[in-house]
Chains A and B, each alone.
Chain A
Amino acid sequence: MVVTAPLPRTRRRSRPLGGPAQGWGFAAPTALFVIFLFVIPLLLVLQMSVSDWPLLGGNRGVNFPENYIDAVDHRLFWDSIRFTLIYTVITTVLLLGLGLGLALIVQESTRWKGFLRTAFLVPSALGLASASLLFYVLYSPIAGPFADLMDAWGITFLGTPEGALWSTVFLIVWRYAGFYMLLMLVGLQGIPDEVYEAARIDGASRWQTFRDVTVPLLRPTFALTTVMCVTGSLLAFEQFYILTKGGPDNSTVTIVQLIYSVAFQGQNSLGVAGALSVIVLLTLVVINIFQLRAFRRPDES
């Protein structure tokens, strides 16, 4: 993905340490791993998507357009796509905005800012599953700290579709804001002081400096964080699986949850799940290519 960009630093290429044979010797474990755990499974999922393949029955021959037709005709297909897209837009906007905001707050290195940085980062040490379980209790109308409040005001966190969506968004923002803050800090550090100095000499106000200096120079950081955040959100699973279980009334079923339930819960059809996976994979590739195009500098295109 974007991370490939800054690689070619070995321009002043001096003599390699050894011959191709030795190179392959060191690369062999990686190659074996990639072939057996990535390339072959990828080919297998392509084959599954065109085969009649029940969970326990194994391959039962070609079932080509039917798997894809079944996938698209699934009653939750369009709903889950719509929900996943809405969720992705909300989390990406919030996480990038908050990440940058928090980074600007903690940029200076004072003791208090150092503490704040740690406080914002601690939640990202938790696993997504642990964080979801934590909020599952926190949002609970029985055991949560807001139980009395919820009872008195007659509200629930997870009881309505909107509530479930925003409660999950809050969990994700809590868990990931520090991480995106860190990426933004890295980007901010890459902006040389002289640039700010020049802006100051030109008499730019704080807001002008932010808008005309900081934001344009953070472009590569925005590209990286947007691609990461969009990809991560489109593939959301654990948070909804644990927190909302797709409910209420299947209103928070994401596309990956749909794949999981088609494959392992009820329908047990690896063929249709494979077809869904291939659709998601292709969509993701297209979306990422589109994003990278959009983020390319104007003078390059």
Chain B
Amino acid sequence: MAMTATRTLIAPGSAPTPPRRRRSRARRAVLGIPSAVFTTALAIIFLYPLIWTAISSVGPRAGTSQTDGWGFGNYLALADYQAGVWVYLGNSLFVSLLTVTLTLLLSLTGGYAFARFDFPGKNVLFLLVLAILMVPYATLLIPLYVLLNAVGLQNSLVGVALVITMFQLPFSMFMMRVSFESVPREFDEAAMVDGCTPLSALWRVLIPAVKPGLITVGLFAFLTAWNDFFAPLILINDSARMTLPLAVANLRGQAQGVVDYGATEAGVVVLALPCILLFLILQRHYVRGFMSGAFKG
């Protein structure tokens, strides 16, 4: 998004018109009310599905586990589903934390190597990382299913985390490379003068400097892993090892084709709540990291 506005911009076909400001201000006052109505309506459209789901997950409905009065019957039904929601939550947490750890390690060392070192094959490797973006999820998951089976990682949450980490690599590597490149060279030159090795310079000087990038990369890795559906769908077939999204999606199919909508709503709330909370807490950071990092030249 580099600003390359070198040509002069003259709106064609517009002879300089005398100021129309007075009138437009008056018009804006009148138009202001419909615009407030319009934006309120938009906000309602975007928030309504979330609020409705949250409310009706504790509300009464025939055919669910909360037939009369308000309460947490649907959540209790969810907790008792097959292996139990705690197992699925644990599986999801395990996959998410492992993915975050691996992503941070890889993008930290890799980003450092790409930003600060010259080595043969560097550009090829970086292009290979970016090429992951071009390859469809399904194209890779089928051979990965066979490969992970061959090395004994069939049906394994570690395998799922490895695969999700790989799919996160283009974004995280790009982000960390840019983060490292935006740190002035004087930082590490000074560290080297003070007797640091490249490793200790990374540890002592550069990690604090690229912390915002690390937080963004970690957050994205967590959200992706927590929400990922396709990788566990293909790689996991033991119901005790399913992650939460898979478990909630499967929950609909139980009991002779009768869908337990109440428990599904509860599942959506359990799935969405951590993401929404994380988003709201880190919103400033998340939005800023996005705006300053990856997409600005």
Residues of A within 8 A of B (CB): 1, 3-7, 9-10, 14, 16-18, 20-31, 33-34, 37-42, 44-45, 48, 102, 105, 112, 115-116, 118-123, 125-130, 133-138, 140, 142-143, 145, 174, 177-178, 182-183, 185-187, 189-192, 195, 198-199, 202-205, 208-209, 212-213, 217, 220-221, 224, 231, 235, 237-238, 242, 256, 259-260, 263-264, 270, 273-274, 277-278, 280-281, 284-285, 288
Contacts and interface: CB of A to CB of B under 8 A. Distances in A.
B228 A26 contact: no
Interface in B183-225: 185, 188-189, 192, 198, 201, 223
Contact of B46 (A120, A130, A133): A120
Interface residues of B, number: 113
Given A1-B130, A112-B39, A115-B43, A263 B142 contact: yes
23 contacts: A3-B130, A24-B113, A24-B119, A30-B113, A34-B128, A34-B129, A118-B280, A119-B46, A119-B47, A126-B272, A127-B228, A127-B245, A130-B245, A130-B248, A142-B63, A174-B45, A183-B295, A187-B1, A192-B5, A199-B11, A203-B15, A237-B137, A260-B234
Interface of B: 1-3, 5, 8-17, 36, 39, 42-43, 45-47, 49-50, 52-53, 56, 61, 63-64, 105-106, 109-110, 112-120, 122, 125, 127-140, 142-144, 146-147, 162-163, 165-166, 169-170, 173-174, 177-178, 181, 185, 188-189, 192, 198, 201, 223, 226-230, 234, 245, 248-249, 252, 259, 261-262, 264-265, 267-268, 271-272, 275-276, 278-280, 283, 287, 290-291, 294-297
Contact of B144 (A41, A191, A280, A284): A41
Given A37-B163, A48-B142, A18 B279 contact: no
A182 B53 CA distance: 25
A127 B229 contact: yes
Given A41-B143, A203-B15, A235-B138, A30 B198 contact: no
B109 A125 contact: no
SS of B interface (majority) = helix
B11 A212 contact: yes
A203 B109 contact: no
Nearest to A234: B136
A284 B136 contact: yes
Nearest to A270: B142
A259 B135 CA distance: 14
A277 B141 CA distance: 10
B14 A205 contact: yes
Name which of B52, B146, B177, B226 has the most chain A CB atoms within 10 A of its CB: B146
A83 to B, nearest CB: 16
B283 A1 contact: no
Contacts of B223: 125, 127
